[in-house]
Structure 1
Amino acid sequence: MQRMTYRVKVSTLRAKRRLSYLLRPSKRTLNLKSNLVPSIPYSPSARFSKTKKLVQLSSIALLSLPADSLTTMKAQVPAYNKVMLQKTLIIAAVPGDSTYFATDGFQHGFGYDLVRGYADELGVGIELKAYASDKAALRALQSGAADMALTTASSQLKNQLELSSINVSCGYDTSLTDNGLNPKVSWTFKQADDPLSQKASYFLCDRIKLESTQSLAAFYNQNLLKDAYSQQHFKKTLTEKLPDYQSSFKKQAKDYNHDWELLVAMGYQESHLDADAVSPTGVRGIMMLTNSTAEAMGVADRVDPLQSIGGGARYLEEMKSTFQDVPQTDRIWFALAAYNMGPNAIKRIQKHLDSDGINDKNWANIYNYLSENKASNSRYEQCMQYVSNIRSYIETMKMQTV
């Protein structure tokens, strides 16, 4: 071993001497210039020969370096550094009921909302790249096309690709399975020792964050239309009643800048698309408007389908405008909650969260507050169910699972 080390050192030293000798100024050239003797004519072939020799000698010197020097030269920049420098977290994700949905202008989903929370903590934005399969998303991560992956890939596949992974439930899988979510949903990183991966682990597995994750899982509950009765009732309503009102939903959605299927989901939640519906409290019509709301929205006849849908669409637009400072991805949930419970009730919750140093413009935090305090206020539980149900209906229509 000593002899081999000595030969490497000697070889390195000789290579350096050769390079030094070759690169030092020629005495003959200096003398010619100092004596004002005409310079030697330029020769491309001679210059090429000299360059070739330089490359050969440089290669010899490089190969003579110790192995640890080469490793240092090839060291990769941590993904965390790149993310913080570019202020963007690039996610390779596979669409699904446990990862994310992309529905006409905004992205949401259980896994996606968790990623947004992490990005907010890092102070960076998100760029989501969709892939058709777990393997394709993980390959993108492996190649450097993404900083992390959001998938439900098997441990076998992730191990095969030599990637590091964190289960978003941190071992509390029942919090996902009880809500119909895939317990394998995870965040995957290229290196386990990358700060991006290590910080993600602390973020997900913090005790307070775990409670928030469990509440978020309840919001994204996928069991609502899993039982046969609910599924058949929803499908029957869309088949038999929606055709009579579909043109009205589309017209009012266009007039007030909404997704028409979102309005359908609201109408189903409010009245099961029954134009003559009346509640014990006196609200009426497809969108179940109160007298005061109908008057404010210019609705003269609450049981007239077109007027009722128009009144609901206009009121929802006002709620969206009220929460203009909320990021678009969460604004629709705020607007729906305000539609159900009133904007001032939501603003009071925001004020309470803000006083505790909690982000009051994040829907997961609002939903968690509703969940924690529903025992003392029945309206909170009603609001939670209202928004969750509409989310489920619109996802079901978009995914065409009925």
Structure 2
Amino acid sequence: MHSSSTSGSRLCLNSLKSLPIKALAFSTLLLPFHSINASKTAYQFDNVVNSNTLVVVSVVNPTTVFDDSEHFHGFGYDLVRNYADSLNVKLEFKTVDDNATALKWVKQGKASFAMTTASIQSIEAKSLTSFSATCGETAALQKNGLNANLNWVFKAANDPLSDTASGFVCRSKQSGTLQQLASFYNRNVIKQESWDSIQRDLNNRMPIYKASFQRTAQLYDLDWHLLAAIGYQESYLKPNSVSPTGVRGLMMLTNSTAKAMGVSNRTDPVQSIQGGAKYYDLMLSRYDDIPFPDRNWYALVAYNMGPGAVNQIRKSIKSQGKDPDQWVNLYAYLDSNKARNGRYRQAVQYVTRIRAYLEHIKTTPQLVNI
């Protein structure tokens, strides 16, 4: 079992009345607070409020969550995390080996709810209730190679937590957030036939540079797999690579960036990896107020476009009345405007491919154990 939590402000029963409906993500079906307080039924909603913690259990799979041993990420995980943020509570996210165990946790009250691809029959067999984690938006998941049969499973249908959750998911669909999350976690971003070629590249070149990635990552407290994924996206791990714009080397540094990072020879793979890691670490430091894993995605876009361009996009997002510190908003801006701006199109491809490479490197035993 693995668990992770994200921080949130204290939410208590006395303060709930003063918070706006939008902040709590209540659906129109939510019971009045006086009836909740008066009820003698033990609701998971009450446990969430009293503990200031939303406990969610899930099985690791490409649609729900990718557990990289440092930070969770994934379509399902991000959706759940956004729901916890809307309730202003901490998220305690736990993974188990199979759907049966996840359902058992809900039945026993060990989890607020489960995120699962279990069949409706198996859910109903345990007298549990569920609803689609996509509010019926199956097309967005299917076209991005995700499992459309994703459900949130609750202990009781009349629990206000189920009502608030279903309302939140449907609003996410209406706002386009759900579709953008599915787009970012697209399993088809790299065509299946390309993976054979990618695997050959990694098998041949990773053994040469793995030690440098590991040593440098340790120096900057980074994930070496992520550095390797950046290197593959930049140059296919070819130290003599040169672009038409003059960037060069394994990590494809500009001349000015190389000098600033102390790199005297951009085609030296060891120097290039060190310079790229130092620059990436610098980009991470610019987004200290943004939690992981989102901070990684922001830093990657800044590595690709430059931090000035990211700052301009964040200003535009803020002017639209949206939170510029939420990755889904930054990604949506890039994705929605990529047709008119080649840099945005490149940035979308850049960050989504690196995410895919990261997951591949971390889950391919022959690469990890080289």
Normalised by the length of structure 1, the TM-score is: 0.79
The offset of 1:226, in angstroms, is 5.0
Aligned residues of 2:189 and 2:352 also touching (Cα < 8 A): no
Indicate the residue corresponding to 1:119 in structure 2: 84
Indicate the residue corresponding to 2:346 in structure 1: 382
Aligned residues of 1:100 and 1:108 also touching (Cα < 8 A): yes
Residue type of the alignment partner of 1:200 = A
Q: Following the alignment from structure 1 to structure 2, what is the Cα–Cα distance between the partners of residues 208 and 172?
A: 7
Alignment of 1:218-233 (within 5 A): 218-225=183-190, 227-228=192-193, 230-233=194-197
The offset of 1:356, in angstroms, is 3.3
Name the structure, 1 or 2, with higher relative contact order (CA <8 Å, separation 6+): 2
Q: Following the alignment from structure 1 to structure 2, what is the Cα–Cα distance between the partners of residues 275 and 289?
A: 11
Q: Following the alignment from structure 1 to structure 2, what is the Cα–Cα distance between the partners of residues 187 and 302?
A: 49
Aligned residues of 1:104 and 1:259 also touching (Cα < 8 A): no
RMSD (Å), alpha carbons: 1.7
Q: Following the alignment from structure 1 to structure 2, what is the Cα–Cα distance between the partners of residues 394 and 313?
A: 15
* Uncovered stretches (5+) of structure 1, i.e. residues with no partner: 1-72
Q: Following the alignment from structure 2 to structure 1, what is the Cα–Cα distance between the partners of residues 200 and 222?
A: 24
* Uncovered stretches (5+) of structure 2, i.e. residues with no partner: 1-37
2:320 to 347, 353, 356: 356
1:136 to 83, 101, 104: 101
Alignment of 1:1-400 (within 5 A): 75-206=40-171, 209=174, 211-225=176-190, 227-228=192-193, 230-400=194-364
Greater Cα offset, 109-118 or 201-210: 201-210
Query: Comparing both structures, which one devotes a greater share of its residues to helix?
Result: 1
Once the two structures are superposed, what CA deviation does each residue of 1:263-290 show, in whole Å capped at 9, x if it has no partner?
Answer: 1100110000001111111110110001
Q: Alpha carbons of 1:74 and 1:356: their partners in 2 closer, same or farther (altered >3 Å)?
A: closer
Aligned residues of 1:169 and 1:210 also touching (Cα < 8 A): no
The offset of 1:391, in angstroms, is 0.4
Which has the greater radius of gyration? 1
The offset of 1:207, in angstroms, is 6.4
Aligned residues of 1:216 and 1:364 also touching (Cα < 8 A): yes
Residue type of the alignment partner of 1:307 = Q
Aligned residues: 329
Q: Following the alignment from structure 2 to structure 1, what is the Cα–Cα distance between the partners of residues 46 and 153?
A: 17
Aligned residues of 1:327 and 1:361 also touching (Cα < 8 A): no
Q: Following the alignment from structure 1 to structure 2, what is the Cα–Cα distance between the partners of residues 243 and 380?
A: 33
Q: Following the alignment from structure 1 to structure 2, what is the Cα–Cα distance between the partners of residues 295 and 110?
A: 38
Once the two structures are superposed, what CA deviation does each residue of 1:82-135 show, in whole Å capped at 9, x if it has no partner?
Answer: 112211100011111000111131111110000011111100110011110011
Residue type of the alignment partner of 2:152 = W
Q: Following the alignment from structure 2 to structure 1, what is the Cα–Cα distance between the partners of residues 176 and 264?
A: 46
The offset of 1:75, in angstroms, is 4.1
The offset of 1:353, in angstroms, is 2.5
What's the % identity of the aligned pairs? 46
Q: Following the alignment from structure 2 to structure 1, what is the Cα–Cα distance between the partners of residues 295 and 252?
A: 22
Normalised by the length of structure 2, the TM-score is: 0.85
